A and B are shown apart, each in its own frame.
Chain A
Amino acid sequence: MNYKDYINWERMPTTWCPGCAIGTIFKQTTFALAELGLAAEDMTVVSGIGCSGRAAGYFNADSVHVTHGRALPVAEGIKRANPKLKVIVFSGDGDLVGIGGNHLLHSARRDIDLAVICVNNGIYGMTGGQMAPTTPTGEKTLTSPHGTAYAPINIQGIVTSNRRHWFARASTFHIVHLQKVIREAVERPGFAFVEVMGFCIENSGRRLGFKSGHEMLTKLKTDYKLKAGPDGLLGDHELGVVKNDGQNG
């Protein structure tokens, strides 16, 4: 299979802005799917609301674009109804961790066989650039004009609080690693969560002083490094996989 087989070309071009990170993550996902050789009839993509939520319709497979924050329960309903389908959730941080946070706690706890690709751009981009639960402390947004007072949410902590878990952090810059962990997430039986560090130039970066999407991309190169050792949790600026294949309970 070729990655092009996984793209619904009738829907191109996407709604994403020039310089957006989501396109890269979408494309690396299609590369990973091509490696696995998954047939369109054997998979479904589910997404919620937001820029990343538009991704479902761009895959050349049956897809479902649902309400804000509810991609996980819809995906769980699909998976439980037809366990043969590979169910991939592709959505944003505001959707999966903000408004949909409760479902993340419980889908992860129940270890439902889903591959969740979470585009973390640290902002509510589609609605114009408001503070997200992932926005770094002190960052100015439309709803935090004096800088966010809060610490960003610890997604790794939520997912790995279950004894059996699989969590990966990747970045839009480190695309080989990104593709590898997406592939692993789709293959792994059970709940697999990939947090992909992205960015939004249009409704976040340009207000923070970035000149272009490329400048934000290179900052990911500077800020994030692949984790050296195999054990322990990822540091705030480390990329890698944290897993425990034991039993929950």
Chain B
Amino acid sequence: MKSLIMGNEAVACGALKAGMTFFAAYPITPASEIMHELAGREPEIVFIHAEDEIASIHMVIGASLAGRKAMTSTSGPGMSLKQEGIGLAHMMEVPLVIVNVQRVGPSTGMPTLPAQGDILQAAHGSHGDYVPIVLSPSSVEECYRYTIEAFNAAEESRSPVILLLDGYIAHLQETVDLDTVSIDPKPRTLAPLGQGRRHFTGLLARDGVPQTKNTAYYREWYARVKAKMLEAAAHYRFFDYQKNSTSDALIIAYGITHRVVSPLRGSHSLFKPVRMFPVLEDEIRAAAAEHDKIIVVEMNDGQYRGEVQKVLRREVLGVSLLGGTISLKEIQERLREL
């Protein structure tokens, strides 16, 4: 059945479709509609309006350990507060989903205006080394689709997966038929608490026994976890590449920015990464090899451009759309200046 819904509502619907039965969050613009959509659904799900952002990520960790598919949602300031919990979930290998609806920062910034400024935070926001899976949808239908995929990736990788929206996509209203999306939710991969004698800890540990001075084991552990993440991520290589053989320029854009630049497909090739991290190195290299100019258009000061440059090891141009507004006219003017 077709219905007119917004991106945030589609995220909530996708989570329910994926089998999420536990949700804890704290209200924040522009992510609150996810909470509103899930509130009042008890006992179908456990819904907690937590005392703060830190509590909500930790409640979700506890719920996942206890056997439920669990999610939390927030925006930049809340995402900063959740970072220690995200690191804990990576260390303890706990599957869960975190939605970050990006707004203009740093700090309270421009709370009601959208941004794409938390790209690098999604990859590196917690401390230490870890390899997260980050997905970024660019339509209401994709909000639904990639929320389900985020839950599947979380189960397969046994890690916290980040769904990165921008305020535009979250508040975008589109007519969609969610029934046409068929993705099978994956079963739980972690046996729930109550098995007898397992110890989950934020310390480096082998079979539940802390290894706090064991350098050799840290290296072994990190190699295993990194390989696990990359192997799981390989099943979630989501992107869209529209080649224009008359063009020598490739525009890379994601989220709302991809939507806005899509009318340029008559004059440019377009590449949209949905899996932002781990970066789709092979796909980006293959698309870039067919073009002289590579341009990343994004609502931040070149965060993903730096990632693309790192992969391609050549100059990558950028159009940075700062301060919360975006227009095709401005993008076209800025492209001409390049």
Number of contact residues on B: which range applies?
Answer: 35 or more
Query: Quick check: A65 and B46 within 8 Å, CB to CB?
Result: no
Query: Quick check: B58 and A74 within 8 Å, CB to CB?
Result: yes
Q: What is the bound-complex CA distance between A70 and B200, given in angstroms?
A: 14
Tell me whether A57 and B84 are in contact in the complex, defined as CB-CB below 8 angstroms, given that A64-B65, A77-B24, A102-B52 are known contacts: no
A80 contacts chain B at the CB level, 8 A cutoff: yes
Contact of B85 among A61, A70, A79, A84 (CB under 8 A): A70
- What is the interface of chain B, defined by CB distance below 8 A to chain A? 22, 24, 46, 48, 50-52, 54-56, 58-68, 70, 84-85, 87-88, 92, 192-203, 208-210
Where chain B touches its partner, the secondary structure class is mixed
> B253 to chain A: closest CB distance in Å?
36
> A84 to chain B: closest CB distance in Å?
8
A44 contacts chain B at the CB level, 8 A cutoff: yes
Query: Quick check: B209 and A61 within 8 Å, CB to CB?
Result: no
The interface centre, meaning the residue of B64, B67, B199 with most chain A CB atoms within 10 A of its CB, is B199
Q: Known pairs A63-B200, A73-B62, A82-B193. 6 more at Cβ < 8 A?
A: A62-B194, A62-B200, A67-B84, A76-B62, A77-B64, A80-B22
B66 / chain A contacts, CB cutoff of 8 Å: 44, 77-79, 81-82, 85
B61 / chain A contacts, CB cutoff of 8 Å: 66, 74, 77
Query: Quick check: A81 and B200 within 8 Å, CB to CB?
Result: no
A56 contacts chain B at the CB level, 8 A cutoff: yes
Query: Quick check: A82 and B67 within 8 Å, CB to CB?
Result: yes
> B111 to chain A: closest CB distance in Å?
22
> A144 to chain B: closest CB distance in Å?
26
Closest 10 CB pairs of A and B: A77-B62, A77-B59, A81-B66, A73-B58, A81-B63, A65-B201, A106-B51, A74-B62, A73-B55, A77-B63
Query: Quick check: B58 and A62 within 8 Å, CB to CB?
Result: no
Q: What is the bound-complex CA distance between A72 and B50, given in angstroms?
A: 12
Tell me whether A73 and B50 are in contact in the complex, defined as CB-CB below 8 angstroms, given that A40-B196, A40-B197, A78-B66 are known contacts: yes
A70 / chain B contacts, CB cutoff of 8 Å: 54-55, 58, 85, 88
> A90 to chain B: closest CB distance in Å?
13
Interface members, chain A 101-121 (any B CB < 8 Å): 102-103, 105-106
